[in-house]
Amino acid sequence: MLQSIDHIVILVKDLVQAQADYTALGFVVVPGGEHSDGTTHNALVSFADGTYLELIAFKKPNPDHHWWQYEARGEGLIDFALLPDDITAEVTAIRRCGLDLQGPFPGGRVRPDGQQISWQTAMATTRDLPFLCADVTPRELRVPGGDAWTHFNGVSGVARLGIVVSNLTESLSRYQALLGSPPQAQNQAGEATFTIGAAAVVLTEPKADRDPELAAYLAQHGPGPYNMVLRTVGDERRGEKLDINRSHTAFPILLD
């Protein structure tokens, strides 16, 4: 079973600067360390609902890396992961539903304190779908908890993740094979909503005459995550847009 969104990946050029900017936005940012291949390093913004934001930067060029294709387009949201109960069983079940899923593959990183952590991932072959990420070492070693959840801006988790797609019918078919269920809602505006854990994942096929900005984004960047809404404790900051430059993403992050 796919429990929830595990994390959302934000590509940045300068990890030190991104850490400073997210701290200035009111987040607690925890240095994550260097990945096993030495190509990337990251920092994490962890939430009480179990999800987190991964700020990731390349330390050196690697055309074979899964995310290297995004480096040329600049900073922003590039991917997201779901958390499975049993990744091997999940991959087998999803393949039986006709979806091409590759893996599981081993992964890991070394934290700044020297702690080695390990996980497994499984990847789809289309960019509209998330990947799966399952822990080998205990999850609490990978995902910061405790004081790391207490953000000065009051954010407690992910409320909504927007996914832009080029063909809603085809993406719906793939998501249904991945999740094992149809969307919870669908409208005539080219949107369909799946509930994954506590978050809504909303697929949108933009039309140039109705949403030219999002259509242009799709043409430039391709399918994938393009915006998110973060859940806050209390109402005082609801509806606020975080600074687009400090958030290092192509669209502002909204607080709900």
Residue 130 has pLDDT above 90, yes or no: yes
How are beta strands 30-35 and 101-110 bridged, if at all?
antiparallel
| Nearest CA-CA partner of 165 in 250, 226, 224, 101 | 224
**What predicted TM-score, i.e. pTM, was given to this entire model?**
0.95
**Mean pLDDT, the chain, whole residue set:** 93
* CA atoms of 53 and 204, how far apart (whole Å): 22
Question: Does pLDDT of 254 surpass 90?
Answer: no
Query: Would you say 40 and 57 are in contact if contact means Cβ atoms under 8 Å apart?
Result: yes
Q: Which of 215, 234, 235, 236 is nearest to 226 (CA)?
A: 215
How far apart are alpha carbons 11 and 71 in whole angstroms? 8
47 three-state secondary structure? coil
Centroid of chain to Cα 52:
8
For 233-242, what is the mean pLDDT? 82
CA-to-CA separations, 140 to 118, 143, 189, in angstroms, rounded: 12, 5, 40
> Given this model, what pLDDT does residue 114 score?
96
pLDDT at 43 over 90: yes
Q: Of 246, 205, 207, 202, whose CA–CA distance to 227 is shortest?
A: 202
- Alpha-carbon distance of 29 to 48, in angstroms, equals 14
Residue 105 clears pLDDT 80, i.e. is over it: yes
Question: Mean pLDDT over residues 207-236, rounded?
Answer: 89
Tell me the two tokens of residue 32: 């994550």
CA–CA separation, 201 and 198 (whole Å) = 10
199, β-bridge pairs? 196
Query: Taking Cα atoms as reference points, which of 252, 249, 253, 251 lies closest to residue 75?
Result: 249
% of residues, the chain, pLDDT over 70: 99
Query: Tokens in use for 52?
Result: 């987190």
Side by side, the strands of the sheet bearing 191-196 are 185-186, 191-196, 199-204, 155-164, 224-232, 254-255
